[in-house]
């Protein structure tokens, strides 16, 4: 019968030469440099990620503007989203003579201002819903008053609406950033040159 070997033990002699010491130091230096490069790359990736998030937020930022204008015999008050992203309407408040009007009813406020003469003029309303949205580049006519043949002249209708009523509101971007609008601040009066 032949003898069998179950294991073999290698004994390596300790090399105390300078080359072995430098090889060990080089290995440690390379490992430290690899760790430093990895940390630097992770930091750069995080900075790029933060810039990407900021860019996405800016690319989805809405901007609500309010316009008041006359077109021929009509007075038009509108709200526009001139931003890059949709505006999600969160709150709308209508003030008449500096008092908050309950139930967001622009129609009721105009009835109070013009009384029974509403039937002589033609009003159209577009209600902007809470949690509804205005897409970018879209203008919504909130009020249109056709004053042709009305007892109130167009200039008086325009003046009454702009001086006695203002609207404030809050809206959000799709990322949840909150913004506010106030018709007293952003109202631009535009008059059609073809209007007498």
The per-residue pLDDT for range 130-156, each reduced to its tens digit, is 888 899 999 988 888 877 776 667 777
Whole-structure pTM value: 0.62
Among 3.20.20, 1.10.1510, 3.30.230, 2.60.40, name the CATH number for the domain at 64-191: 2.60.40
Burial of 9-27, coded b for 16+ CB within 10 Å and e otherwise, reads eeeeeeeeeeeeeeeeeee
Residues 6+ apart with CB under 8 A from 130: 89, 90, 91, 92
- The per-residue pLDDT for 191 is 41
Distances (CA, A) of 146 to 34, 105, 161, 193: 75, 19, 14, 17
Is 64:130 a contact under the CB 8 Å cutoff? no
Q: pLDDT at position 189, please?
A: 44
pLDDT of res. 103: 65
Q: Which residues contact 113 (CB under 8 A, 6 or more apart)?
A: 96, 160, 161, 164, 165
pLDDT value of position 195: 45
Q: What's the confidence (pLDDT) of residue 54?
A: 82
pLDDT at residue 162, rounded to an integer: 79
Determine the pLDDT at residue 132.
86
| Residue ranges, the chain, pLDDT below 50 | 188-196
Strand 64-71 with 187-191, pairing: parallel
pLDDT at 117: 56
Query: Which residue(s) pair with 143 in the sheet?
Result: 77, 125
pLDDT of residue 192: 43
d(CA 36, CA 13) in angstroms, rounded, equals 34
Residue spans of the domains in the chain: they are 15-59, 64-191
The pLDDT value recorded for residue 31 is: 93
Residue 1, classified by CB atoms within 10 Å of its CB into exposed (0-12), middle (13-18) or buried (19+), is: exposed
Residue 196's pLDDT is: 40
């Amino acid at each position: 019968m032949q003898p069998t070997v179950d294991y073999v033990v290698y004994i390596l002699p300790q090399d105390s030469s300078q080359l072995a010491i430098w090889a060990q130091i080089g290995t440690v230096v390379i490992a430290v440099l690899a760790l430093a490069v990895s940390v630097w790359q992770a930091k750069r990736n995080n900075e790029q990620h933060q810039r990407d998030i900021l860019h996405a937020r800016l690319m989805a930022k809405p901007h609500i503007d309010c316009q008041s204008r006359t077109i021929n015999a009509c007075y038009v008050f509108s709200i526009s989203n001139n931003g890059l992203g949709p505006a999600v309407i969160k709150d709308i408040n209508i003030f008449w003579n500096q008092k908050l009007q309950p139930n967001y009813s622009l129609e009721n406020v105009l009835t109070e201002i013009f009384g029974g003469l509403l039937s002589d003029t033609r009003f159209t309303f577009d209600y902007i819903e809470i949690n509804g949205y205005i897409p970018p580049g879209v203008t919504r006519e909130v009020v249109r008053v056709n004053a042709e043949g009305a007892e109130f002249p167009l200039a008086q209708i325009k003046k009454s609406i702009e001086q006695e009523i203002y609207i404030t509101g809050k809206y959000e971007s799709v990322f949840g950033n909150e913004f506010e609008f106030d018709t007293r601040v952003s109202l631009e009066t535009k008059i059609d040159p073809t209007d007498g």
